[in-house]
Structure 1
Amino acid sequence: MKIPNLRQGILASTLLLSPSLTAAPVEITSPDGTNVLTVDDSDGSIRYAITSAGQEVVAPTPIGITLNGTALPHSKAKAVRENQVRETVKPVVPTFSASFPDAFNEKWIQFDDGVSLRCRAYDDGVAFRWETSRNDEEMEVNEDLRISFTEDFPVFFPAPNGDGFFSHQECLYPRMKVSETAGKKNASVPLLVERGDDRWMLVSDVNVEGYPGMWLEGTDSTTIQAVFPPYPLETKLDGHLNLKVAKAADYIARTKGTRTFPWRAFALTDDAAGLLTSTLFYNLAEPSRLKNTEWIRPGLVAWDWWNANNIYGVPFRAGFNQETYKHYIDFASEMGAGYIILDEGWSKPGPGGLLEVVPEIDMPALVKYGHSKKVDIILWMGSVALEHDFDRAFDQFSEWGIAGIKVDFMQRDDQVMMDFLYRTAEEAAKHRLLVDFHGGSKPTGLSRTWPNMVTTESVCGLEQNKWGGDANPDMAVLLPFTRMVVGPMDYTPGAMVNQQKNTFRPMNDTPTSQGTRAQQLAMYVVYLSPLQMLADSPTHYRRNPESLPFLKAVPTTWDETRVLKADVGRCVAVARRKGNEWFIGGLTSWEACDLELPLDFLGTGSFEMTVWKDGINADRNGNDVAVETRSVAAKDRLTVHLAPGGGVAAMIRK
């Protein structure tokens, strides 16, 4: 079958409407021939295997789905349909690129009992999902999913904070052999697998709608077992934020008989750089369900919570009051930031308190003042409080004229909570509100389906420095290759007080970062989030004027990305373009490094490059940042030394 040429904006698919009888095994091969997903039912069970560039990564492994207590499918495939797609995707809200290919080969394997398996192979990975077409009004579902690796590969096994499935999923990524995961706490995804010779695989799930998120459990072999939060039958409120499961079912989902299930996705790259530009997880996500998206506006956000409203040098008492937030609005306006966040404290806590604004704040007047400065307001809330007043809250938000909501403390990704995420994104879209999800599940494609859901936390971010030491430069250089691959990441960078390893101490009300100032600036380029926080106090930004030109100029979405350096866990550097301007960001771990970065992505002519780099004493004092401007051309290189925990940020203009 001839494969059509890729043409922008054109869907080129072919469906063989006459199903052919199967000949096991069924192979699904990527358009470039690199990746192969094999499905074999010859021995009475359904097994999948994955091969990439001739290397078998996943050995034949049984899979299955249980519906109302019956394990299916229990027959051999009766038909296979084929499909090819070659198109170009233009995201409503871009992250690393304004457009990219969506090209795959697909086979849809049909079994008896109304069960089928849809399989896809892309140039950057493979995926499969179950589909059902049954008359059941309601099904109780369980799923058997394992990953049997062909070798005892090193993996970065995500260790979430929390108790069991109750977690913010702000994961650490300890490196260990697959066999060493036995006995460890269950891990959420994504799972990064080191295949050798700088080849990688990243495992996650996509389109988790009406279903729980996927977790992983180690065994005493080279097989990892997928496990899922069971369906919650009863919940109990612990405090005013934590809604915990008190009683769970013996199944993981309760759903209708005809539906599609989440994708089981395996990104495959020949080098670490490929992880930074993989589009597998976005392409697998359901397309946007919004017709009008012009109102969705990414941008910088002045944020109050990380810096504990610690403004000084002002003639008013800083805190949860009108003067403080008008000050944030003024600062956001000066910075060209489109938003401020009112985080926890603007309303009474707990269920029933969400719409009771504290008397020190006049919300309509504050919104009006913000609009006069071209700054909109985003409101923080706990998920329990939002659920308690769901419909009334959204009506009130619209009446106030706020622009978005930041919903926190989900801490679960069972089916009920995942349904909450979809309902919230949909209802917010009806009211033209942006959504930022904190304290819950990692991205699973929701930001494509409901593009007003612009960013998600689920990351060991800057906030950890208020009480611990996990958000350090060693973590900083892991995140682009792990958590960030599956979707936008609200790390909340921007600390203006920066410490080296030997001087750092956690401080809740006067927090600092680990690593250098230049590393904090570089995060705005390296880390992808259409809403990007200015986490520190307006006072600290104004007292560090050398950093402000970069922060005022740096975009939050990008037209093009070039990977300049990709060394997992050690160093990363990217160049990203917005319009006619290029920005460079580079990070290193606690180990210093020297970078020599090509500028061959520049067009013809001469350009002005301004560089923010570690100062000569940054290895002793993380605040030391040096700024220089010079003329460059495409033939030149940016040569720079990164101090321990260091970074480099650059802005290049014609």
Structure 2
Amino acid sequence: MKQKILHLFLLMFLTIPVIAQKRLGVSSPDGRLQVAVLLTDSIGYQLLHDGKLILSADAIAMKLGNGNAFGIKSQLKQAKTTLVKEKIDAHFYKRSQINDEYSELTLDFKQDFKLIFRVYNEGMAYRFVSSGKKDFIVNEELASFQFPKDYKAYIPYVKTKEKTLEGQYFNSFENTYDYSLLSEMNSNKLAFSPMVVELDGGKKVCLAEADLQSYPGMYLYNPDGKTALEANFAAYPKYTKQGGHNQLQQMVTSRQPFLAKSKAQTKFPWRIAIVTTTDKALADNDMVYKLAEPSRLKDVSWIKPGKVAWEWWNNWGLSKVDFVTGVNNQTYKAYIDFASKNGIEYVILDEGWAVNLKASLFEVVPEINLKELVAYGKSKNVDLILWAGYYAFERDLEKVCKHYSQLGIKGFKIDFMDRDDQEMVDFHYRAAEIAAKYKLLVDFHGTYKPTGLNRTFPNVINYEAVNGLEQMKWTGPEMDMVTYDVTMPFIRMVAGPVDYTQGAMRNATKRSHRGINDEPMSQGTRCRQLAEYVVFESPLNMLCDRPDNYEREQECTDFISAIPTVWDNTIVLNGEIGQYITTARKKGDTWYLGSLTNWDTRKLELDLGFLGTGDYVAEIYQDGVNANKIASDYRKDRISIPVNRKLSITMAQGGGFAMKIIKK
């Protein structure tokens, strides 16, 4: 529910034609960000921070199939400026309530469209809105992000061997970051958003999008070696065929000469430029969530976030049992027992429970009796989530949701979409809506980054689109996961939650890590794995390791199992992109704190002044003195929080620090 505090309309109202009006302006509530909209035969804008130009575009437009265009030789009817100050009650998020304060400039044009600019203290966004009465085709969108200098950027290129841009539209949206000058970007490669550009004086701009509905997602690339990024979009599929991973994907074989089939009154995605002067502010930004459509669900009481005992990462691992582990009821009952003992809400049945190569979720392997497992789980207060390949889920969507909801299944982890064209974006909304109808959670894997769907349909409880811990199963030191861990929170996590799947109890140094499928390990220390449950936003959070590994490390397991997955408040205390980060999160009267470093040993002075008055005690987990050689080495202590609220911590190479704080 939104509670409106202040709403001022019609601060500026113009009815003069575009020829007479060359420049319109709107500023953030604190006045530090200014947007100048330039109207000639095209529409451009300039974004200034403290009076200095940081970003611009010569022309933003949408070319339509009927020969018309939004933003080319358009005639302005009127302009309206609005100041809004609201509070958003958030569901299953990093804070329970969000301050939503912005200035909005709405430009209404005779060509049946509006262009809306919003300026927050923390950034700018704009969107096109159709105001006509007829449906239409979008052939092309022009969107560019021009920087005044050749800055360096953190670039998440599409990970693929495909050389053509067309071929790169099929990807899993997972990669590490290249750090290079804008002019040195590979002109033959697409990058997915969010992307961060590093300005002078510690300022940064993060480019993202929000409220992506019935429209392709935005890629970014630099085709000509200049200091500008151009938007790029996958065209609408013309023909697809079943194929890909285990025949569970729809492969696009040809595309239409247009981007989208759009309805009258369509609200197109927000194009966002987040502006920060400190990295920690970037890691704690709410703009994507704020700009998304509010929840369509009136009742969210049935949605239960929590943690999941997960078998795929550890290859269905169990030891000291009298049966062969794998995709069978005996193995899953053991996982249910472990979850029940440790207060873990869910167990997932990942790929393998449905007959392979059939692309049907109604053909269950003979080793699995789902009805029996559901009943066994309920007797232990543990619910089940099922993995589903995209095509198998999509082809029988409502039938699948209805059947498994009635069976007692609580959600689906849907995988291998690997596209973000309009057809696939539509699937995400359709899947979320029908799943909600049958009170099912959705965890989207093999998918594009979140753009606010988790606000519109709060049963969308998590997203992958992250270079997560699964990578450690098949890569060695050539994959620098430790650096990625302290880079991703400032970039990818700006868009929304991540299903990173941390929790490894086998931990390795930079020298000792190697990929082993049956007994995988993490890079970095044990305390790093604990701290990631605090630093990474993840309303449905996996425990990736084997139950018996957790049982041998019960002290760490107790800490993990107690950590909430949604929060009343979040504060990023410090951080530098690619170097380190410290995040504190509150649930009820309890605070959790997590800190991560890169491969450098690091000492930090923490200011815990956010605790306020009173006496506090803390349970702390810190890297052991030998953690640089034995990554699993850690120590647990119980301390009183100093009266001056200052605390010094030290982390090993690839290390971490985790803490639970309670009031006496």
Superposition pairs of residues 44-59 of structure 1, within 5 angstroms:
44-59=41-56
Query: Percent same amino acid at aligned positions?
Result: 40
Contact 1:178 1:223 in 2 (8 A): yes
Task: Tell me the alpha carbon deviations over residues 11-52 of structure 1, each in whole angstroms, 9 at most, x when there is no partner.
Answer: 5323329942353311121111111222111x3211011112
Task: Tell me the alpha carbon deviations over residues 301-338 of structure 1, each in whole angstroms, 9 at most, x when there is no partner.
Answer: 11111111011112222111111111111111122111
Pick aligned residue for 2:333 from 309, 323, 326 = 326
SS at match of 1:27: strand
Instruction: Between 339-348 and 74-83, report the one with greater CA deviation.
Output: 74-83
Contact 2:26 2:81 in 1 (8 A): no
Moved runs in structure 1, 4+ residues, more than 6 A? none
Task: Tell me the alpha carbon deviations over residues 270-326 of structure 1, each in whole angstroms, 9 at most, x when there is no partner.
Answer: 211111221111110000000000011111111111111011112222111111111
SS at match of 1:12: strand
Supply the distance in 2 between the matched residues of 1:136 and 1:121 (Cα, whole angstroms): 30
Pick aligned residue for 1:216 from 213, 220, 224 = 220
SS at match of 2:498: coil
Q: 1:20 corresponds to which residue?
A: 14
Superposition pairs of residues 203-282 of structure 1, within 5 angstroms:
203-218=207-222, 219-239=224-244, 240-282=247-289
SS at match of 1:136: coil
SS at match of 1:393: helix
How big is the shift at 1:634?
4.3
Supply the distance in 1 between the matched residues of 2:610 and 2:117 (Cα, whole angstroms): 36
Q: 1:542 corresponds to which residue?
A: 551
SS at match of 1:258: coil
Supply the distance in 2 between the matched residues of 1:84 and 1:350 (Cα, whole angstroms): 55
How big is the shift at 1:349?
2.7
Instruction: Between 374-383 and 60-69, report the one with greater CA deviation.
Output: 60-69
Contact 2:57 2:144 in 1 (8 A): no
Amino acid corresponding to residue 156 of structure 2 in structure 1: P
SS at match of 2:455: helix
Instruction: Between 509-518 and 131-140, report the one with greater CA deviation.
Output: 131-140
Contact 1:522 1:648 in 2 (8 A): yes
How big is the shift at 1:171?
2.2
Superposition pairs of residues 96-495 of structure 1, within 5 angstroms:
97-162=95-160, 163=162, 164-218=168-222, 219-239=224-244, 240-469=247-476, 470=479, 472-495=481-504
Instruction: Between 620-629 and 284-293, report the one with greater CA deviation.
Output: 620-629
Contact 2:415 2:444 in 1 (8 A): yes
Q: 1:640 corresponds to which residue?
A: 649
Task: Tell me the alpha carbon deviations over residues 565-610 of structure 1, each in whole angstroms, 9 at most, x when there is no partner.
Answer: 2111001111111111111100011122112212222232322211
Q: 2:165 corresponds to which residue?
A: none
Superposition pairs of residues 608-647 of structure 1, within 5 angstroms:
608-647=617-656
Task: Tell me the alpha carbon deviations over residues 159-218 of structure 1, each in whole angstroms, 9 at most, x when there is no partner.
Answer: 122340111101221111111114251001001011122211111111111100000111
Contact 2:57 2:143 in 1 (8 A): no
Confirm or deny that 1:576 pairs with 2:617: no
Contact 2:197 2:206 in 1 (8 A): yes
Supply the distance in 2 between the matched residues of 1:8 and 1:357 (Cα, whole angstroms): 45
Q: 2:594 corresponds to which residue?
A: 585
How big is the shift at 1:75?
2.5
Supply the distance in 1 between the matched residues of 2:38 and 2:509 (Cα, whole angstroms): 54
Task: Tell me the alpha carbon deviations over residues 437-468 of structure 1, each in whole angstroms, 9 at most, x when there is no partner.
Answer: 00010001100000000110000000000112
Q: 2:80 corresponds to which residue?
A: 81
Unaligned runs of 5+ in 1: 1-6
CA RMSD of aligned residues (A): 1.6
Contact 1:490 1:529 in 2 (8 A): yes
Contact 1:501 1:514 in 2 (8 A): yes
Amino acid corresponding to residue 543 of structure 1 in structure 2: R
How big is the shift at 1:91?
0.5
How big is the shift at 1:407?
0.3
Supply the distance in 2 between the matched residues of 1:356 and 1:60 (Cα, whole angstroms): 53
SS at match of 1:9: strand
Supply the distance in 1 between the matched residues of 2:573 and 2:489 (Cα, whole angstroms): 13
Q: 1:604 corresponds to which residue?
A: 613
Contact 1:215 1:226 in 2 (8 A): yes
SS at match of 2:80: strand
Q: 2:565 corresponds to which residue?
A: 556
Supply the distance in 2 between the matched residues of 1:54 and 1:138 (Cα, whole angstroms): 39
How big is the shift at 1:421?
0.3
Instruction: Between 235-244 and 168-177, report the one with greater CA deviation.
Output: 235-244
Q: 1:506 corresponds to which residue?
A: 515
Supply the distance in 1 between the matched residues of 2:607 and 2:5 (Cα, whole angstroms): 36
Q: 1:3 corresponds to which residue?
A: none
Contact 1:303 1:536 in 2 (8 A): yes
Instruction: Between 436-445 and 63-72, report the one with greater CA deviation.
Output: 63-72
SS at match of 1:582: strand
Instruction: Between 57-66 and 442-451, report the one with greater CA deviation.
Output: 57-66
Contact 1:464 1:471 in 2 (8 A): no
Supply the distance in 2 between the matched residues of 1:52 and 1:410 (Cα, whole angstroms): 39
TM-score (norm: length of structure 2): 0.95
How big is the shift at 1:220?
1.3
Instruction: Between 572-581 and 281-290, report the one with greater CA deviation.
Output: 572-581
Amino acid corresponding to residue 49 of structure 2 in structure 1: S
Supply the distance in 2 between the matched residues of 1:640 and 1:623 (Cα, whole angstroms): 18
SS at match of 1:601: helix
Contact 2:592 2:660 in 1 (8 A): yes
Task: Tell me the alpha carbon deviations over residues 385-428 of structure 1, each in whole angstroms, 9 at most, x when there is no partner.
Answer: 10122121111111211111100000000000000000000001
Amino acid corresponding to residue 199 of structure 1 in structure 2: K
How big is the shift at 1:637?
2.7
Instruction: Between 291-300 and 64-73, report the one with greater CA deviation.
Output: 64-73
Contact 1:190 1:203 in 2 (8 A): yes
Supply the distance in 2 between the matched residues of 1:531 and 1:89 (Cα, whole angstroms): 22
Q: 2:61 corresponds to which residue?
A: 64
SS at match of 1:518: helix
Contact 2:359 2:389 in 1 (8 A): no
TM-score (norm: length of structure 1): 0.96
Supply the distance in 2 between the matched residues of 1:386 and 1:8 (Cα, whole angstroms): 34
Supply the distance in 1 between the matched residues of 2:593 and 2:132 (Cα, whole angstroms): 52
Q: 1:4 corresponds to which residue?
A: none
Task: Tell me the alpha carbon deviations over residues 339-394 of structure 1, each in whole angstroms, 9 at most, x when there is no partner.
Answer: 11110011113454212111111111111111111111110011111012212111
Amino acid corresponding to residue 534 of structure 2 in structure 1: V
How big is the shift at 1:552?
2.0
Contact 1:350 1:385 in 2 (8 A): no
Supply the distance in 2 between the matched residues of 1:404 and 1:627 (Cα, whole angstroms): 36
Instruction: Between 168-177 and 130-139, report the one with greater CA deviation.
Output: 130-139
How big is the shift at 1:256?
1.8
Instruction: Between 377-386 and 389-398, report the one with greater CA deviation.
Output: 389-398
Contact 1:604 1:633 in 2 (8 A): no
SS at match of 2:336: helix
Supply the distance in 2 between the matched residues of 1:468 and 1:185 (Cα, whole angstroms): 23
How big is the shift at 1:72?
3.2
SS at match of 1:260: coil
Supply the distance in 2 between the matched residues of 1:67 and 1:342 (Cα, whole angstroms): 45
Contact 1:46 1:62 in 2 (8 A): yes
